């Protein structure tokens, strides 16, 4: 009998009971517009502000007024980068610093800003998938408007030295943004202590539904409006609020950040078992640093294996996972993240990301370990390059 094992929590997560119950009244009964003054409108307003306070608390923001609700993590990234860069351009700041292995929400935004005349420095990462804060320091110019470095990488799970980079930016007087979509609930985040000026997060990676995110923006940072319109989000992002999504995000943030060490321990137990056992398969390698990684992330390359074929065979056994190879991204090139840590194309193509989450069990892990090694074996038997590798 096949199990169903969802091991792609870095792609999205299931809505939790906690979040679902918080949302229920707002699906049908509590439908008031938060901008109105009668009681059901006031209820919606209170729900939005309560959610804002929960997000602020989870990040240790100085005030809930520093939280803006958005439509997704991608929107938050767009807003942070474009909003700050364009606001500072008038002051002669036309330089942006980011890294080569950001999510496309940042990379493609940076490329769009290059077309507007901004210069962008893309900081490299080392073979473990880590950024050297000194490289960021050296790249800062008098014209630098903003530095944007992701907190944790979505593919290989590496956690970046964000407090150190925050300190460098503060000392240089440069605005610092971090895409923390993957880090939320996995890493202790304190925007004040870690000198983070802007931070992006997304609901669906932490058991809220898809279509809601938030941007933290420290008071005093100049940020262009994202959507001109009504007075929602203090006039910076117009449009009637997504009350249902916002309530869900507040509950999800509260729940995800309740016990980060406990969550890490549980995830680590599962991923340690996966990593230790999968590395016993010959000609495999773990991508990303073994220690400085998200507790729920496993990213392994199997030589002479095609990523898509592997995903399809896992799917036939009821296992959902991701790979760093071509078709998923709609291009022939393997993942830019795997290439950035120096993997040759053919090895990057044979990469598998398993991301465990709150609903993953040790039985799921055992099932993966039972099913995966024979699949690797089958695929290698079919591979024309496998024999060559074995005879080396
Ligand atoms: C998922 C993800 C995003 C995009 O968030 P959406 O809400 O899906 O738009 C951005 N950055 C990282 C690191 C992510 O993992």
**Which of 240, 235, 239 is closest to 223 using CA atoms?**
235
**Gap from CA of 334 to ligand 1 centroid (Å):** 19
d(CA 367, CA 46): 45
pLDDT tens readout for residues 5-14: 999 999 999 9
Non-local (6+) Cβ contacts of 178 within 8 A are 148, 149, 150, 151, 162, 196, 198, 199, 200
Binned at pLDDT 50, 70 and 90, residue 209 comes out as: very high
d(CA 211, CA 219): 25
**Gap from CA of 377 to ligand 1 centroid (Å):** 33
d(CA 158, CA 287): 9
Query: Could you count the other beta carbons within 10 Å of the beta carbon of residue 4?
Result: 10
The residue whose C-alpha atom lies closest to atom 8 belonging to ligand 1 is 73
pLDDT of residue 327: 52
pLDDT of residue 324: 75
Q: Which of 11, 75, 103 is the best mutation target for the ligand 1 pocket, counting ligand atoms within 8 Å of the beta carbon and taking the most?
A: 103
pLDDT tens readout for residues 259-303: 999 999 999 999 999 999 999 999 999 999 999 999 999 999 999
What length is written for the chain?
Answer: 392
**Gap from CA of 181 to ligand 1 centroid (Å):** 6
Binned at pLDDT 50, 70 and 90, residue 390 comes out as: confident
pLDDT of residue 31: 96
CA angle in degrees (0–180, nearest 5) for 386-320-151? 95
Atom of ligand 1 nearest to the CA of 205: 1
Atom of ligand 1 nearest to the CA of 77: 10
Atom of ligand 1 nearest to the CA of 202: 7
Q: Which of 159, 181, 335 is the best mutation target for the ligand 1 pocket, counting ligand atoms within 8 Å of the beta carbon and taking the most?
A: 181
Backbone angles phi, psi at 31, to 5 degrees: -105, 10
**Gap from CA of 69 to ligand 1 centroid (Å):** 15
Non-local (6+) Cβ contacts of 149 within 8 A are 97, 98, 99, 102, 123, 131, 136, 160, 162, 165, 176, 178
Residue 333 is classified by DSSP as: S
Tokens describing residue 140? 């800062």
Classify each residue of 370-382 as buried b or exposed e, where b means 16 or more C-beta atoms within 10 Å of its C-beta. ebbeebbeebbee
d(CA 381, CA 173): 57
pLDDT tens readout for residues 325-378: 655 555 667 899 999 999 999 999 999 999 999 999 999 999 999 999 999 999
Query: Could you count the other beta carbons within 10 Å of the beta carbon of residue 115?
Result: 7
Residue 320 annotated in active site: no
Tokens describing residue 253? 């943030």
SS3 362: helix
Which element (helix H / strand E) includes 274? helix 260-278
Q: Which of 72, 202, 253 is the best mutation target for the ligand 1 pocket, counting ligand atoms within 8 Å of the beta carbon and taking the most?
A: 202
pLDDT tens readout for residues 47-62: 999 999 999 999 999 9
d(CA 356, CA 264): 11
**Which of 117, 123, 122 is closest to 86 using CA atoms?**
117
pLDDT tens readout for residues 290-337: 999 999 999 999 999 999 999 999 999 999 999 976 555 556 678 999
d(CA 229, CA 33): 15
pLDDT tens readout for residues 116-173: 999 999 999 999 999 999 999 999 999 999 999 999 999 999 999 999 999 999 999 9
**Gap from CA of 183 to ligand 1 centroid (Å):** 11
Q: Which residues pair with 202 in a beta bridge?
A: 213
pLDDT tens readout for residues 47-102: 999 999 999 999 999 999 999 999 999 999 999 999 999 999 999 999 999 999 99
Q: Are 129 and 336 contacting, i.e. CB atoms less than 8 angstroms apart? A: no
Which of 72, 217, 257, 327 is labelled catalytic?
327
Backbone angles phi, psi at 251, to 5 degrees: -65, -40
Residues with CB under 6 A from ligand 1: 72-74, 77, 103, 105, 150, 154, 179, 181-182, 202, 204-205, 213
Q: What share of the chain is helix, strand, coil (3-state, %, to 5)?
A: 45, 15, 40
Q: Are 2 and 320 contacting, i.e. CB atoms less than 8 angstroms apart? A: no
pLDDT of residue 315: 97
The percent of residues above 90 in pLDDT, for the chain, comes to 94
Atom of ligand 1 nearest to the CA of 12: 1
Does the pLDDT at position 389 exceed 90? no
User: Is 46 exposed, middle or buried, given 0-12, 13-18 or 19+ CB atoms closer than 10 A?
Assistant: exposed
**Gap from CA of 74 to ligand 1 centroid (Å):** 6
The residue whose C-alpha atom lies closest to atom 14 belonging to ligand 1 is 181
Q: Are 191 and 216 contacting, i.e. CB atoms less than 8 angstroms apart? A: yes
The residue whose C-alpha atom lies closest to atom 6 belonging to ligand 1 is 73
d(CA 357, CA 365): 11
Q: Are 103 and 179 contacting, i.e. CB atoms less than 8 angstroms apart? A: yes
pLDDT of residue 1: 65
SS3 254: helix
Non-local (6+) Cβ contacts of 312 within 8 A are none
């Amino acid at each position: 009998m096949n199990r169903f094992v969802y091991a792609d929590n870095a792609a999205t997560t299931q809505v939790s009971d906690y979040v679902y119950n918080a949302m229920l009244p707002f699906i049908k009964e509590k439908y008031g517009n938060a901008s109105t003054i009668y009681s059901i409108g006031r209820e919606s307003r209170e729900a939005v502000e309560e959610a804002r306070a929960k997000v602020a608390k989870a990040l240790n923001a100085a005030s809930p007024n520093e939280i803006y609700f958005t439509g997704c993590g991608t929107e938050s990234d767009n807003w942070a980068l474009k909003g700050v860069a364009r606001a500072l351009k008038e002051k002669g700041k036309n330089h942006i610093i980011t890294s080569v292995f950001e999510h496309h929400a940042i990379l493609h935004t940076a490329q769009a800003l290059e077309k507007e005349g901004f210069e962008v420095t893309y900081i490299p990462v080392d073979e473990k998938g880590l950024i050297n804060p000194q490289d960021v320091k050296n790249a800062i110019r008098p014209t630098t408007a903003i530095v944007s470095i992701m907190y944790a990488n979505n593919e290989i799970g590496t956690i970046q030295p964000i407090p150190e980079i925050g300190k460098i930016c503060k000392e240089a007087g440069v605005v610092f943004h971090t895409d923390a979509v993957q880090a939320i609930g996995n890493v202790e985040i304190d925007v004040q202590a870690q000198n983070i000026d802007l931070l992006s997060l997304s609901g669906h990676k932490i058991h809220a539904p898809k279509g809601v995110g938030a941007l933290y923006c420290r008071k005093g940072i100049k940020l262009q409006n994202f959507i001109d319109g009504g007075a929602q989000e203090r006039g910076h992002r117009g449009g009637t609020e997504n009350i249902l999504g916002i309530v869900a995000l507040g509950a999800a943030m509260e729940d995800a950040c309740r016990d980060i060490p406990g969550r890490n321990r549980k995830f680590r137990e599962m991923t340690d078992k996966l990593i230790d056992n999968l590395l016993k398969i010959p000609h495999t390698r773990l991508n990303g640093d073994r220690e400085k990684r998200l507790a729920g992330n496993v990213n392994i390359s199997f030589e002479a294996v095609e990523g898509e074929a592997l995903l399809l065979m896992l799917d036939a056994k009821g296992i959902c996972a991701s790979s760093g190879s071509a078709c998923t991204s709609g291009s022939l090139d393997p993942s830019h993240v795997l290439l950035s840590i120096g993997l040759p194309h053919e090895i990057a193509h044979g990469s598998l990301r398993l991301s465990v989450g709150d609903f993953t069990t040790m039985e799921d892990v055992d099932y993966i370990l039972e099913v995966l090694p024979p699949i690797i074996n089958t695929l290698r038997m079919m591979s024309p390059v496998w024999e060559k590798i074995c005879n080396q």
